[in-house]
Amino acid sequence: MSMIFNTEWGYLEALTRGFKNGMLKHSDYLNLTQCDSLEDVMISIQGTDYGIIFGGENKEPCVEVIERALRDRLLQQYYYIRSHATEPLTTFMEYIRYPFMIDNVALLIAGLNNHRSMKRLLRMCHPLGEFDQLGAIEVATNSSELFDAILIDTPLAQFVPPDLPMEGIQRLDVEIVRAHLYRAYLEKFYAYCKNLGGTTANVMTNLLSFEADRRTITIAVNSIDSEISPKERLRMFPSCGYLPKIALASMSVLNDSDKIRDVCNMFDGYGKMFDNFERDTDGMITLEDRFLMVEAKKNVQTFLQQYQFGVFYSFMKLKQLECRNIVWISECIAQRQTDKINAYIPIPFD
């Protein structure tokens, strides 16, 4: 397998490892947090492996300019890998794009339900989640029409559960729609990776099981005191996680975070995600942040194994987190809230 892997994808794996090695280290983040202005941030970023990414920008330094330049670099790296890939890596790389497509669809549905301009909404979509049919839906006047247009002969059609109430899509919370699409996506991606076998299957099923459990716990916590029925909650929980069916059934009926935590502790030790951190003196580290910290560690560990597709998935995840961190630091500087500047998610490279 290693000989076949190197012949087909060895160059791309080595390239991706090089991309990962060029990501910001602890010292780079330290430099960023000590910047006094966004102009300083841009200069500091260009002193790293990012290089001259703001070269053509003559505008006043702002967070949007920084965010767009970071996103463009991510797109450049993704599409280089994707354009040189062969099957089954080509399909694997497409699976990495699907969450962006789901988020774009959720954005459009939410915007239409709030009577926002479709052209403006399309400009807000993430480029990595664009697909041919996305530009052809400007004629949609409500979320039902949008959903019909997107889910016929589009990449997302495979993730629409047959029991999703299409006629009531306007009354359905967009987060419920997103949760159903994500559940189907995770389960199909899990099955695809498992079918690939070898080290890729071992690495990816571990990462995707964690992601499934993270979504289950987050949905359970966010559903506390909501009108979402236990049956509906259960239908949103991905079934490919480490948490067994009995744990999913228990969390679907609980309306207390402490009881959800007890269930998590009983089956897979996720209860520690609810614990307070010693350094979290202001209560700024959320449940999502704690999951991101564990996810970052898992994605760094992916690079300890060779001859597997997990490096491509984990690199994209780590790069997204890096962009999120830089934007957070930039926002804190722009809004003069430097007391919150260190609340980014550390990536444990060193």
Residues contacting residue 47 through CB under 8 Å, at least 6 positions apart:
31
pLDDT at 234 over 60: yes
Mean of the pLDDT values across residues 284-310? 93
Amino acid at 156: L
Average model confidence (pLDDT) across the chain: 89
Quick one: pLDDT at residue 131? 84
Give the 3-state secondary structure of 70-135: HHHHHHHHHHHHHHCCCCCHHHHHHHHHHHHHHHHHHHHHHHHHCCCCHHHHHHHCCHHHCCHHHH
Longest Cα separation, the chain: 58
Quick one: pLDDT at residue 58? 63
- 1-53: pLDDT as tens digits: 567 899 999 999 999 999 999 999 999 999 999 999 999 999 999 999 999 88
pLDDT at 279 over 50: no
Query: pLDDT class for 276, splitting at 50, 70, 90?
Result: low
Q: What one-character-per-residue DSSP string does 128-175 give?
A: GG--GGGGGGTT--SHHHHHHHHTSSSGGGGG--TTS-GGGTTTS-HH
Q: What is the end-to-end Cα distance of the chain in Å, rounded?
A: 31
Quick one: pLDDT at residue 138? 62
Quick one: pLDDT at residue 274? 85
Nearest to 232 by CA among 291, 305, 274, 173: 173
Residue 309's SS3 state is coil
Mean of the pLDDT values across residues 155-177? 76
Quick one: pLDDT at residue 44? 95
DSSP classification of residue 59: S
What pTM does this model have? 0.94
- 201-222: pLDDT as tens digits: 999 999 999 999 999 999 999 9
pLDDT at 295 over 80: yes
In terms of Cβ atoms closer than 10 Å to its own Cβ (0-12, 13-18, 19+), residue 278 is exposed
Distance CA 347, CA 303 (A): 13
Q: Give the tokens for residue 65.
A: 């300019």
pLDDT at 54 over 90: no
Distance CA 174, CA 155 (A): 19
Which percentage of the chain shows pLDDT scores above 90? 68
pLDDT at 167 over 50: yes
- 67-100: pLDDT as tens digits: 999 999 999 999 999 999 999 999 999 999 999 9
* Domain ranges, ordered by start, for the chain: 86-181
Quick one: pLDDT at residue 282? 62
pLDDT at 305 over 60: yes
Nearest to 46 by CA among 242, 57, 36: 57
Query: pLDDT class for 165, splitting at 50, 70, 90?
Result: low
Q: Which of 104-113, 130-139, 308-317 shows the lowest per-residue confidence on average (mean pLDDT)?
A: 130-139
Distance CA 337, CA 323 (A): 19
Nearest to 95 by CA among 323, 316, 321, 288: 316
pLDDT at 252 over 60: yes
Distance CA 166, CA 348 (A): 43
Residue 238's SS3 state is coil
Which has more pLDDT, 148 or 107? 107
Which has more pLDDT, 199 or 172? 199
Quick one: pLDDT at residue 161? 83
Distance CA 250, CA 245 (A): 9
Nearest to 219 by CA among 261, 259, 181, 251: 251
pLDDT at 307 over 70: yes
Q: Which of 75-84, 107-116, 285-294 shows the lowest per-residue confidence on average (mean pLDDT)?
A: 107-116
In terms of Cβ atoms closer than 10 Å to its own Cβ (0-12, 13-18, 19+), residue 167 is exposed
Quick one: pLDDT at residue 108? 85
Distance CA 246, CA 254 (A): 13
DSSP classification of residue 207: H
Mean of the pLDDT values across residues 285-292? 89
Distance CA 314, CA 47 (A): 24
Quick one: pLDDT at residue 349? 87
